[in-house]
Amino acid sequence: MLKRVQHDKKKYVIPNLFRNLEFENYNELIAFVLISERELYKKMKVPFFDLNSQFSSIEEEIKSALDEVFKTQQFILGPKVEALEQTIAHYCQTQYAIGVASGSDALLLSLMVLGIGKGDEVILPPFTFFATAGVVSRLGATPVFVDIDPDTYNIDPSKIEEKITSRTKAIIPVHLFGQCADMDPLLELARAKNLFVIEDAAQALGSEYKPHPHSDGRRAGQMGDLGCFSFYPTKNLGAFGDAGMVVTHNADLAEKIRILRVHGSQPKYFHKWIGINSRLDAIQAAILLVKFRHLEKWTEERQRKAKRYGELFQDLLSSMHGLLLPMIQYKNRHIFHQYVIRVQERDRLRQFLMENGIGTDIYYPLPLHLQECYSFLKYRRGDLPISEKASEEALALPIYPELTEDQQTMVVDRIKAFYRK
Ligand SMILES: Cc1ncc(COP(=O)(O)O)c(C=O)c1O
């Protein structure tokens, strides 16, 4: 990306993105790059995500919701959090929802409430965000990784049984990129083996599994014992900071999580269990309640963009070996938190797109079984080949409700240009 200027070997230039700006020396250039990282994203013709556009469209609604909170001066839990809990419980077709400080804490509290800890094993896919496994380790339990299905990137249920031991306590399927994992065989196995199921639905609010001709599918989060959501700012329903939620049909588990999220205290200052501080705050809840009013419309927009990507890529699909578009299993309701394609020469393509002002991202560049912190588990490259291959080929393209048709056309045109070269 960085080139020396032809007419002056002492000068450097960054082509394209900075309109060939020239620098006197390398240090000057590095200083510029550091300061300009944020500017760079502003200059992107198609940023990978664009929270500013979303905010502009709801700015007044957000400000008046925040004003309400400021007037009450009640910032931790309280009526806004309760209203959000009811809204999410209803949306997820569950009876209970408990607001917590993040998606990671939703997973942590779910494991805690089930009493999972030292000596226990928990089965999960390695192709996910670190939190799915990190929380298991944090409690002294061992993550046991099971490879994914190559088409959906979700845990392959047919590979779970061989990993179950007398120590296995739970399975955490992750509904990656906004599509539900294949839950029927997984739930059947869990029932037969007496295992808990915690859904990591951090990326899947509103996604549905296996609709039938005369009925909608089951919502993510309500199929297992507990479902965990993240409202990280770039999620389909994103807060202005960290926030998360656990949903469940089980009144006892719900009640216990409510207690665990306030250090296990009930009544105040009397501690029934050793919990953590993981309270959702009223400001985040107020923002999420405003954004929730737009969620269905935004989801439909994401689905429309995904369909259009499919149409724009049609000719390349037949001519280009190795290009794969997202696959929708069982006519699931995919909410397209991410639109992930698979390509050869992924890293070179990503660099080329960046030089052309198009942001992309890689979920995930290194599967969890090969992470340095898990070297003690003694997995080797080749043990979970489908996840490993996906981590070399998967590329997430921009997808958000505000993405324009022109921007989308530009993304696909540039990808075509790269493979024509
Ligand atoms: C699959 C998955 N699990 C868990 C999390 C953790 O959520 P949070 O970032 O809100 O802690 C995330 C969010 O990034 C996620 O994508």
pLDDT (tens digit, 9 = 90+) per residue, 267-312? Answer: 999 999 999 999 999 999 999 999 999 999 999 999 999 999 999 9
**3-state DSSP call for residue 53?**
helix
Q: What is the model's pLDDT at position 1?
A: 45
Query: Is the Cβ atom of 222 under 6 angstroms away from ligand 1?
Result: no
Distance 174 CA to ligand 1 centre (A): 10
Query: Is the Cβ atom of 332 under 6 angstroms away from ligand 1?
Result: no
Question: Which atom of ligand 1 lies closest to the CA of 105?
Answer: 11
- Could you give the C-alpha distances from 125 to 34, 143, 338, in angstroms and in order? 36, 9, 18
> What mean pLDDT comes out for the span 190-211?
98
d(CA 42, CA 45): 8
Distance 3 CA to ligand 1 centre (A): 38
> Is residue 17 predicted with pLDDT exceeding 50?
no
The residue among 183 and 319 whose pLDDT is bigger is 183
* Sequence-ordered alpha helix ranges (H) in 313-345: 314-319
Residues 6+ apart with CB under 8 A from 391: 127, 362, 364, 365, 366, 367
The residue among 16 and 94 whose pLDDT is bigger is 94
Q: What is the model's pLDDT at position 51?
A: 95
Strand partners for 199:
227
Place of tokens 């409430």: 113
Q: What is the model's pLDDT at position 285?
A: 98
Please report, to the nearest 10 degrees, the dihedral formed by the alpha carbons of residues 139, 367, 220, 76 taken in order: 50
Q: What is the model's pLDDT at position 41?
A: 55
| Mean pLDDT estimate for the chain | 93
The token pair at 32 is: 């510029």
146-184 b/e (C-beta count within 10 Å ≥ 16 → b): bbbbeebbbbbbebbeeebeeebbbbbbbbbbbbbbbbe
Question: Which atom of ligand 1 lies closest to the CA of 176?
Answer: 1
> What mean pLDDT comes out for the span 250-256?
98
Distance 79 CA to ligand 1 centre (A): 25
- Which residue is closest in CA terms to ligand 1's atom 12? 202
Q: What is the model's pLDDT at position 420?
A: 84
Question: Which atom of ligand 1 lies closest to the CA of 128?
Answer: 1
Question: Which atom of ligand 1 lies closest to the CA of 102?
Answer: 10
Shortest CA distance to 291 belongs to which of 241, 244, 242, 239?
Answer: 239
> What mean pLDDT comes out for the span 399-414?
97
Query: Is the Cβ atom of 131 under 6 angstroms away from ligand 1?
Result: yes
Q: What is the pLDDT of residues 173-183, one digit of tens each?
A: 999 999 999 99
Q: What is the model's pLDDT at position 405?
A: 96
d(CA 357, CA 372): 33
Query: Is the Cβ atom of 236 under 6 angstroms away from ligand 1?
Result: no
d(CA 230, CA 243): 6
Pairing state of beta strands 394-397 and 339-342? Answer: antiparallel
pTM: 0.91
- Please report, rounded to a whole number, the percentage of residues in the chain having pLDDT higher than 70: 90
Residue 94: how many CB atoms within 10 A of its CB? 21
Distance 202 CA to ligand 1 centre (A): 5
The rounded Cα 340 to chain-centroid distance in angstroms is: 12
Residue 216 C-beta-side C-alpha neighbours within 13 Å: 11
Q: What is the model's pLDDT at position 316?
A: 87
**3-state DSSP call for residue 113?**
helix
d(CA 271, CA 269): 6
> Is residue 211 predicted with pLDDT exceeding 90?
yes
Contact 238, 231 (CB under 8 A): yes
> Is residue 6 predicted with pLDDT exceeding 60?
no
> Is residue 347 predicted with pLDDT exceeding 70?
yes
Query: Is the Cβ atom of 230 under 6 angstroms away from ligand 1?
Result: yes
Distance 391 CA to ligand 1 centre (A): 18
Distance 22 CA to ligand 1 centre (A): 40
Distance 37 CA to ligand 1 centre (A): 24
> What mean pLDDT comes out for the span 182-186?
98
* CB-count burial class (<10 Å; 0-12, 13-18, 19+) for 59: exposed
Helices 405-420 and 346-355: crossing angle, nearest 10°? 130
Contact 179, 329 (CB under 8 A): yes
Q: What is the model's pLDDT at position 4?
A: 56
Place of tokens 């696909």: 412
> Is residue 10 predicted with pLDDT exceeding 80?
no
Mutate to test the pocket of ligand 1, among 155, 172, 203 (most ligand atoms within 8 A of CB): 203
Query: Is the Cβ atom of 173 under 6 angstroms away from ligand 1?
Result: no
> Is residue 16 predicted with pLDDT exceeding 80?
no
Q: What is the pLDDT of residues 331-343, one digit of tens each?
A: 999 999 999 999 9
The residue among 202 and 22 whose pLDDT is bigger is 202
> Is residue 94 predicted with pLDDT exceeding 60?
yes
> What mean pLDDT comes out for the span 344-368?
97
> What mean pLDDT comes out for the span 195-219?
95
